[in-house]
Amino acid sequence: MERKKQVSIIRYRTGDVRLIWRVLIALVLWLAVVFLLRFIPIFLYTSIEAGRGTDRPEALEAAKAIVFEHPIWSTAIGVINGLMSLPLIWFLMIVIEKRTFTWKKVGLDWRRNSLLNLAFGALLALLIYFAGIVVDRVFGSSIPTMDTVLAGLTASAVIRNLILYIPMGFGEEVLFRSYIQSRLVERYGALRGILIGSIVFTLLHLLVGPLSPVTILSGIILWAAVGTLYHWSRSLYLVGMFHGIANILLNTLSFKGSDTASLIVHALALLSILVIGHYGEISSHTHSDPADASH
């Protein structure tokens, strides 16, 4: 007789590692990569310069400036950071979960509509950014002129941010939407899975700096909208491009909308996605082959 596997704090009865541990392992490994990619260059540069006779505090400040502000080094570190998500997910799936790794399972299989998804993701980011400007105007703020929005913009800044934020956007979406959200949805269903994933992703930004309650709520709503798009499309090209372009706009253009405007725009975006997705689902069922529905 086959021996039944016992439930433990680490594993389910099936023998699979519990979801909480898989999510924690994913987050800890990702944060470790983020930290080490910055700590190691800072430590090495500081040690080398201190060995040459430079005061250690001065060497440390110079090292931080290179890692966080130098256009080439900071961009290279950010790109590596984004690309590291793929081997991280490969490790989690192969070693921890004992699953096979395929591009389809992480939403990166190239399909006929992938190019369209890339374009839609970029367009959605642009719409949300400029909708924030319009909503600010509705609430009494003056609409900035194009010269104000483009103030300080240079070709080199655009190229650098494209190189930096597109891989970072895709990398974060691989981890948080493709892996963490998908596992949460498998366990708790779409509504709770997407919501929990959005909360986790938003709150992690507190590690970078303080966020107001409005900003946190706005972020949760935005990433719930992105999570819903991924859940329905299963295309990382869509959400990855959205994430990358959104970061480029926020870090390249000078205009930043108010927290209230962002909250309203993000709520409208989520509502629109839910309504369009709902009617699209009804339409697909209505036009499906009756013979298929009978099986």
In angstroms, rounded to a whole number, what is the distance separating the alpha carbons of residues 64 and 76? Answer: 15
Find, among 238, 244, 249, the residue nearest to 82 by Cα: 244
Give the pLDDT confidence of 184-203 residue by residue, as tens digits.
999 999 999 999 999 999 99
pTM over 0.85: yes
Tokens linked to 89: 């997910």
**How does residue 1 score in pLDDT terms, banded at 50, 70 and 90?**
very low
In angstroms, rounded to a whole number, what is the distance separating the alpha carbons of residues 289 and 295? Answer: 11
The CA angle 212-216-218, to the nearest 5 degrees, is 115
Give the pLDDT confidence of 34-48 residue by residue, as tens digits.
999 999 999 999 999
Give the pLDDT confidence of 84-111 residue by residue, as tens digits.
999 999 999 999 999 999 999 999 999 9
Radius of gyration of the chain from its Cα atoms, rounded to whole angstroms: 22
The domains of the chain are located at 1-101, 104-290
Give the pLDDT confidence of 148-180 residue by residue, as tens digits.
666 667 888 889 999 999 999 999 999 999 999
